[in-house]
């Protein structure tokens, strides 16, 4: 297999992100500050696990949010400024273009920022199963996508959004299905958060949901 992946992790501004989780951090009170802290914790736990996965050579967060930018920069994670109001796939294409200009980057991928139970070994196993193929991992519902991996030297060509698992399959990507539950458990709803908690939450998310 070729050198490791550089993964792009896109995140909306905190006041817009994960709207279906509003109230999950404060027993239904729906305070914006508690929500922002939860979304930040989920993203930090996701990236922390991804950085420790063999096969991951680097991570770049794409966001326009100043709080997230400060938190990731403090953790030693590179942050690229988002394309204003252009949407998720545009943010990913922007990250892809920037990364592929760099000599050290051979393979690019996209990882969702809402995987608070992610275990490094699960991500490493999926990367290993991808081999040199364009590949994707569907979420636990089978409709969304948690990880998209480009072929060596090729553009990412992201097709995230409703029904993205089908869209990525139709784009020629190989489906990655294996014993990596933590990579498939993205959290859009409180039911997803309960499922992630059963797998074991990262420390920052656990502290925000206890
Ligand atoms: N950088 C960036 N990230 C985005 C953008 N749109 C969505 N994302 C991120 O992509 C992931 C999936 O996005 P969505 O499912 O559309 O949105 P969401 O944050 O889950 O929010 P809700 O649908 O409101 O619950 C989340 O991590 C988002 O923060 C964008 O325009 N720019
Ligand atoms: C945008 C996506 O994520 P979510 O399931 O969080 O909406 C997707 O899976 O393509």
Task: Name, in order, each residue with C-beta under 8 angstroms of 70's C-beta and a sequence gap of 6 or more.
Answer: none
Q: Decide: 93 in ligand 1 pocket, CB within 6 A.
A: no
Cα 58 → chain centroid: 13
Q: Decide: 19 in ligand 1 pocket, CB within 6 A.
A: yes
**H or E element in which residue 8 lies:** strand 5-10
What are φ and ψ of residue 111, in 5° steps?
A: -120, 130
pLDDT at 3: 74
ipTM exceeding cut-off 0.85 for this assembly: yes
State the Cα–Cα distance between residues 119 and 125, nearest whole angstrom.
10
Task: Name, in order, each residue with C-beta under 8 angstroms of 87's C-beta and a sequence gap of 6 or more.
Answer: none
Rounded to 5°, the CA angle 13-102-169 comes to 65
Gap from CA of 161 to ligand 1 centroid (Å): 9
Residue 164, marked binder: yes
State the Cα–Cα distance between residues 1 and 75, nearest whole angstrom.
29
16 CA: nearest ligand 1 atom: 24
Q: Decide: 62 in ligand 1 pocket, CB within 6 A.
A: yes
User: Which residues does residue 9 pair with via DSSP β-bridges, in sequence order?
Assistant: 61
State the Cα–Cα distance between residues 169 and 202, nearest whole angstrom.
30
Strand, helix or coil for residue 192: helix
Question: Sign of dihedral through CA atoms 168, 169, 171, 172?
Answer: positive
**Closest ligand by atom to 184 CA:** 2
State the Cα–Cα distance between residues 151 and 134, nearest whole angstrom.
5
pLDDT at 207: 96
Which residue ranges make up each domain of the chain? 5-209
pLDDT at 8: 98
Tens of pLDDT along the chain (210 residues)?
457 999 999 999 999 999 999 999 988 889 999 999 999 999 999 999 999 999 999 999 999 999 999 999 999 999 999 998 899 999 999 999 999 999 888 899 999 999 999 999 999 999 999 999 999 999 999 999 999 999 999 999 999 999 999 999 999 999 999 999 999 999 999 999 999 999 999 999 999 997
Residue 42's alpha-carbon distances to 18, 32, 153, in angstroms, are 10, 15, 30
Fold of 5-209: Spore Coat Polysaccharide Biosynthesis Protein SpsA; Chain A (3.90.550)
């Amino acid at each position: 297999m070729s050198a490791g992946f550089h993964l792009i992790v896109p995140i909306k501004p905190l006041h817009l992100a994960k709207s279906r989780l509003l109230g999950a951090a404060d027993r239904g009170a729906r305070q914006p500050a508690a929500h922002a802290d939860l979304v930040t914790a989920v993203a930090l736990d996701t990236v922390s696990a991804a950085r420790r996965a063999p096969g991951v050579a680097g991570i770049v967060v794409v966001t326009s949010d100043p709080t997230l930018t400060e938190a990731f920069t403090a953790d030693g994670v590179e942050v690229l400024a988002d394309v204003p109001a252009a949407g998720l796939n545009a943010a990913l294409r922007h990250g892809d273009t920037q990364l592929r200009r760099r000599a050290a980057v051979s393979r690019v991928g996209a990882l969702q920022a809402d995987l608070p139970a992610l275990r490094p070994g699960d991500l490493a196993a999926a990367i290993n199963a991808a081999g040199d193929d364009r590949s994707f991992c569907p979420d636990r519902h089978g409709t969304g996508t948690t990880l998209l991996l480009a072929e060596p030297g090729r553009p990412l060509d992201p097709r995230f959004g409703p029904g993205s698992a089908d869209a990525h399959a139709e784009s020629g990507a190989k489906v990655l299905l294996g014993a990596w539950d933590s990579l498939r458990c993205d959290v859009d709803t409180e039911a997803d958060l309960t499922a992630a908690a059963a797998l074991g939450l990262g420390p920052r998310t656990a502290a925000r949901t206890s």
